[in-house]
Amino acid sequence: MVATLNSDLIGIELTLPGGVSKLRTQKKPLSATITLGNQDKIPLKINYNNELKTAFNFASHNQKIVSGHILFGSGVATPPIQPGIKLEINKPQLTLQDWFASAGQTG
């Protein structure tokens, strides 16, 4: 079984670095697809405005991440076969310090 969620994210504000942030009134497409069944891994793919794409495999027995691919910019996110997380940047510029600072903020 495949479940798909599509949204224009109207009404949601994202305070993130670079072109990934959005105002509450802006439309930016988000799609998420999860495949459920009797498999060892549960794949989840997310595409946010063709700027940020992710593909993760979760273990069926404990729902922990087995492998993943986080992609900024152009291309297709595909989870690695081997366990671990792959970070790929296909953009002229991405300031990682801003992302690390944003990830460390709480509130």
d(CA 56, CA 45): 6
CA 94 to chain centre: 16
CA-to-CA separations, 106 to 10, 22, 23, 64, in angstroms, rounded: 23, 19, 19, 23
User: Per residue in 59-95, pLDDT tens?
Assistant: 988 889 999 999 999 999 998 989 999 999 888 877 7
pLDDT band at 34 (very low <50, low <70, confident <90, very high): very high
User: Per residue in 36-57, pLDDT tens?
Assistant: 886 788 999 999 999 999 999 9
- Asked whether the predicted pLDDT for residue 29 surpasses 70, the reply is yes
What's the average model confidence in pLDDT over 20-37? 92
